[in-house]
Structure 1
């Protein structure tokens, strides 16, 4: 078997992550399965169905998540230390060829936003998706139901753009909360309007929120977002806490020469208010394609800035969670437990080997990775009359083609055409 240099490098990354058995399959049948999937689904969009003969190398018929009745031939290899996918009870689940299983669904409800964060979109905004191309509330619910009831998804996070500006958000959350088994439900938001919506979202079944806040300075906030809404974000944080959407988490992106001097102050603010802060390395997902690794503040630099707090490593494995967490001695969380701070080193400390996410864009495209350049069209299947089994199988096929890693460090890396606002965080 001949492998390209990029495929060999990917295999080595998987070996580093401890997945030696699956690394040897990198570059084999289906390594670029996502491309084939896109072609197959394009045909499906025309006919409203998928010819299973076209999906060579993809998972077999959909069974209830966890069923072991169907074991594709390609899943029989493995080792005692790293059991094959079938032994991990992944039939009927969103498994990829490396044994990773997606159980965390990120649903973008809109590509629109009421802020213009400089690392996300230009001040003048973007060309928004036409309304008719966006999934309807009923279509969102159907896809979430298929993911939960047929594909083993256990957590659903609604994102954007800005999800709070989606008129049907409360109803979408309520419908998801009625599913059985009931998934964990959360929202990632900029916090504007959250003080008003938090009680209704809680009553609908929402459990947690992540609020983006990159600065404590109203003036700097306005420069970063091109909007004078800093007070509204702080009100949203307070409203979420008052509604019991705890732990309220704050997402912060530090940028060199912009707000990197605020790391200690932001952590102290979070500790004083009982919020849980997560620092996130800036990723190449801006609409302007102006990301520069040299302006990114790394996880190591963030931890250095927080050294005065005497952070202690959290001994509990983070599992599939993206954040590495540390205890903050002398501080308590809102629930009385030890206070924590997290750092998500997506670029310098990638967690691709443990990724458990699948993403659905506002126009119904499945993305198997935040940085994927391929998408699989479920909206066409929905509107073409496809049944749940066909849609579930298409989703499985899309996830099976997931690459080993995001490839940001690869010389051939290309930034996704969609910006973060259109993908969903």
Structure 2
């Protein structure tokens, strides 16, 4: 069975937040002045158990989901994450099991994650310079540790992609070095416009560097050609360099070029709520009926109805000056 909404967009991608905790306090989603040492994270009993995550994932796969991505917070702060990956990788119909991570814990975990069935990792890396990187992550962590994690993931046979949030006046000097870093390792890099995720990152439109500006800068050093075979639902405008099959540059332009109408993603929060938009104010409680004994088929009916009824277009409304103010934090929803 294939589920589509009113605009006939198929549901294909489930982002699963396995924890709301993170060992960084990045300016982008968990600024240190808000998420400090005294911040009240979710109690353990409120977090979905692995069996519950698997059951929800199976329900969503049965209505069209083909990609599962583990997020957080920092997913590697969830104990025994490889056990969950092993369970998700065995679900019939799943084509891709991936993870978004800050990379700081990858060196110790990459091999067992690969052995459990993880296919790819997307590593958040906003700078190679340790001082700039420390400013971006909010705790003074060094880029060296993340770079070690990237190399460990490659050695373990995992696919690797770099995500870089671009913020005017902070890390613009790092954009070319990061592209060269990806080129040397023959991996992909995505530049993401600084977005107003949540309500605490102090977003201002003048802090956004439009993707076109980044592309122009990179084209001075690389012969970038647009990728033409793009599937519906892809969020990035991608470019490749002839003769370099692994190296690819992409741009996620939620601010300058919204792509709401092609979105095919649903998000599952760590405490068991489904969200149909990264910028959503409220979600749909799936944990309560699950813990009350709801069957697989009943879950399927619930998520089918939720997807068909969706009408999210936050980024378009932002462009029109009509976007709602209150939103869930990105650390809660996952990237």
Tell me what 2:278 maps to.
Answer: 370
Tell me what 1:243 maps to.
Answer: 156
Classify the secondary structure of the residue corresponding to 1:151: coil
Deviation at 1:319, TM superposition (A): 2.9
The answer on whether the counterparts of 1:155 and 1:183 sit within 8 Å (CA) in structure 2 is: yes
Residues 413, 358 of structure 1: CA spacing in aligned structure 2 closer, same or farther, 3 A cutoff?
Answer: same
TM-score by length of 1: 0.74
Deviation at 1:236, TM superposition (A): 0.6
Work out whether 1:103 is the aligned partner of 2:103: no
Tell me what 1:158 maps to.
Answer: 70
Deviation at 1:410, TM superposition (A): 3.3
Runs of 4+ more than 3 Å apart: none
Deviation at 1:116, TM superposition (A): 0.6
Tell me what 2:102 maps to.
Answer: 190
Tell me what 1:281 maps to.
Answer: 193
Tell me what 1:424 maps to.
Answer: 334
Tell me what 1:410 maps to.
Answer: 320
Matches within 5 A, 1:164-243: 164-225=76-137, 226-243=139-156
Q: Which runs of 5+ in 2 are unaligned?
A: none
Residues 415, 174 of structure 1: CA spacing in aligned structure 2 closer, same or farther, 3 A cutoff?
Answer: farther
How many Å separate the matches in 2 of 1:375 and 1:289? 21
The answer on whether the counterparts of 2:282 and 2:327 sit within 8 Å (CA) in structure 1 is: no
Tell me what 1:50 maps to.
Answer: none
Tell me what 1:341 maps to.
Answer: 249
2:223 to 306, 310, 314: 310
How many Å separate the matches in 1 of 2:25 and 2:280? 23
Aligned residues: 327
Deviation at 1:252, TM superposition (A): 0.2
How many Å separate the matches in 1 of 2:199 and 2:20? 12
Classify the secondary structure of the residue corresponding to 1:191: coil
Tell me what 1:136 maps to.
Answer: 49
Classify the secondary structure of the residue corresponding to 2:98: strand
The answer on whether the counterparts of 1:281 and 1:299 sit within 8 Å (CA) in structure 2 is: yes
Classify the secondary structure of the residue corresponding to 2:79: coil
Deviation at 1:275, TM superposition (A): 2.0
How many Å separate the matches in 1 of 2:278 and 2:198? 12
Q: Which runs of 5+ in 1 are unaligned?
A: 1-64, 66-89
Deviation at 1:152, TM superposition (A): 1.8
How many Å separate the matches in 2 of 1:189 and 1:259? 19
How many Å separate the matches in 2 of 1:117 and 1:289? 9
Deviation at 1:355, TM superposition (A): 1.1
Q: Deviations over 1:332-374 (max 9, x none)?
A: 2xxxx26321111112122222211111111110101111223
Deviation at 1:115, TM superposition (A): 0.3
1:359 to 267, 270, 276: 267
Tell me what 1:123 maps to.
Answer: 32
Q: Deviations over 1:23-53 (max 9, x none)?
A: xxxxxxxxxxxxxxxxxxxxxxxxxxxxxxx
Matches within 5 A, 1:391-402: 391-402=299-310
Q: Deviations over 1:152-192 (max 9, x none)?
A: 21110000110011113101110011111233100000001
Residues 295, 162 of structure 1: CA spacing in aligned structure 2 closer, same or farther, 3 A cutoff?
Answer: same
Classify the secondary structure of the residue corresponding to 1:102: coil
How many Å separate the matches in 1 of 2:85 and 2:128? 30
The answer on whether the counterparts of 1:289 and 1:415 sit within 8 Å (CA) in structure 2 is: no
Which stretch shows the higher mean deviation, 266-275 or 358-367? 266-275
Could you say which structure has the larger radius of gyration? Answer: 1
Work out whether 1:290 is the aligned partner of 2:198: no
The answer on whether the counterparts of 2:210 and 2:253 sit within 8 Å (CA) in structure 1 is: yes
How many Å separate the matches in 2 of 1:214 and 1:401? 36
